[in-house]
Chains A and B, each alone.
Chain A
Amino acid sequence: MADGGRRGATRWALLRRHPWMPSFVLLLAVWGLVSELGWVGSTLVATPAEVADAFVAATRPGAPDGRNVWLHANGTLGRAATGWAIALGLGLLVGLGAGARRLVYAGSEPLVELARSVPPIMVFPVLLVAFDYSDGAYVGTIVFGCVPVMVITVARGVQALSRPKLEVLRVHRVRSSVRALALVMELLPSVVLGARLTLSISLVIAVVTEMVFSPRSGIALGALAKEAEVAFDTPVFYAALVVIASVGYLANVGLRWIEERLLGKG
């Protein structure tokens, strides 16, 4: 009885620490049931075992590069990370500049909102031609989609800095290096929020653009997913989907971890 009670308490403690676990187990269970029992055709949904096989097959010696999910993921993540990093830097600079001066913000906000309203996929064909069908077009489209979000988030963060903080720093003549560090730390929540939002946007844009037009190298998760879809290779299609969802989720968890470590909960 006592052992049973302890085991129950341990299970609850585990659930409290990892509240996401039941939803993942449920997702796998529903997916397994729907695909294994044949409720939905195998051309529409692959079973979890088939998807796992696709991952394993990709790493077997002599496996063709064309179906190597990991190799394709590398290409897509490289483009997404490059675009995201450029967008973070640009967005941070423009956001800080726009947020610091009310007049500059009022003048630039309509342009930023206008750019945000344009679906990035619409500028992709233009950038393809401009960048001569190179990876620059994919990276450029990601930058176009992410910069406005980053600018708005950072500029709002700057404007939300409370006046008493700035005034005390100024009147007490706090050294400029300390002042800059204090303000950067104060802005971190806005910067991390912008980073988290644009991270998922950059992954979505990377995959969508690759599905619209395969890069010259052909190494791209979007292109792989599209080819697998056309060839009714459902397990590979779902393997690509699982990779992109997992990368997005894990990167978000990582950024939240960094945010909590840097800013604490006090």
Chain B
Amino acid sequence: MATTPRASPDRALEVIDLGATYADPPVTVFRDVSLCVSPGQVLGVFGPNGCGKTTLLRAIAGLHAATSGTTRLPRGPDTRVAFVPQGYRQSFFGWASLELNLVMTAPAGLSGYRATAATMRRICAELGLDLDLSLRPGQCSGGMLQQAALVRALGSEPDLLLADEPFSALDVEIAGSLRRSFRAHVAESGTIALLVLHDLASIVELCDRVLVIPDKPYTTVSAGAHAEAVLLDNRLLDRRAAEGAAEDVSFVDLMKRVLEGAGHG
């Protein structure tokens, strides 16, 4: 079932010159990060381990205090934010069923509970997932929990989705189909999605744009219009050719540019 976009196109996520540090020991994780993502778009965040991808997501979510810069959420303080943490397994309450875990975001009252439960089931169907929501987290595999974490996030009907490696525990077949249905859902619902991704297949298939954070700290990175070197416009790719991407010249070119941008080149 198609959902109508909730956010108007001018309601974008804007991050301007954001910087973050760790206090003990004092380390600058990143600084001067700028990006802008419009409703219905997916921005991939890519870079080597330890470059600050997760901290960037946490800073936008308000879970890590930014030391400089500004984050403008699409609907200001009313923005509905959803989060899929890297430690998705630990984000579930073991004493409750998956369904109960998923509907914790429900508004007060029985009608709120029922509506949220129905939304979660609809999201499952839209994403093509066959999750048994009566199971407890301890009875689920890592892949099932990761799918449930994504359903919980999308089922809260967010304006902004922040997900840290949301497909890392899925097998190739499920990951492929989930990426396609996820991409369609984001476009239809007008959700702004920021995804930390490690694999190039996900970047190619999912992202409208990619923010590459280089290995070196203290480096200015940007996903704005003025920094083409690190802003890779994934729309250059023909998505229909993604399955044969390994032979696709534009894909190989993109890989090179991404790896060079990430300091692997």
Residues of A within 8 A of B (CB): 162-165, 167-175, 177-178, 182, 185-186, 188, 262-264, 266
Q: B94 at the A/B interface (Cβ < 8 Å)?
A: yes
Contact of B93 among A170, A175, A186 (CB under 8 A): A186
CB contacts (< 8 Å) of B81 on chain A: these are: 171-173
CB contacts (< 8 Å) of B92 on chain A: these are: 165
Task: Tell me which of B83-91, B231-239, B255-263 binds A.
Answer: B83-91
CB contacts (< 8 Å) of A165 on chain B: these are: 90-93
**Pairwise interchain contact B139-A162, C-beta atoms closer than 8 A:** no
Chain B contributes a number of interface residues (CB within 8 A of A) equal to 32
Q: Can you list, as one digit per residue, whether each of B125-162 has a CB less than 8 Å from chain A (1) or not (0)?
A: 00000000001111100000000000010001000001
Q: B181 at the A/B interface (Cβ < 8 Å)?
A: no
Residues of B within 8 A of A (CB): 58, 61-63, 80-83, 85-88, 90-96, 104-108, 135-139, 152, 156, 162
**Pairwise interchain contact B94-A266, C-beta atoms closer than 8 A:** yes
- Complex Cα gap A262–B95 (Å): 8
Interface of A, secondary structure class, is helix
User: Which interface residue of B61, B85, B108 has the most chain A CB atoms within 10 A?
Assistant: B85
**Pairwise interchain contact A266-B137, C-beta atoms closer than 8 A:** yes
Chain B residue with minimal CB distance to A262?
A: B95
User: Which interface residue of A165, A173, A186 has the most chain B CB atoms within 10 A?
Assistant: A165
Q: When A172-B156, A266-B138, A266-B139 are in contact, do A164 and B91 touch as well, CB less than 8 Å?
A: yes
**Pairwise interchain contact A168-B94, C-beta atoms closer than 8 A:** no
CB contacts (< 8 Å) of A169 on chain B: these are: 104
Chain A residue with minimal CB distance to B84?
A: A168
CB contacts (< 8 Å) of B138 on chain A: these are: 266
- Complex Cα gap A64–B87 (Å): 66
**Pairwise interchain contact A172-B87, C-beta atoms closer than 8 A:** no
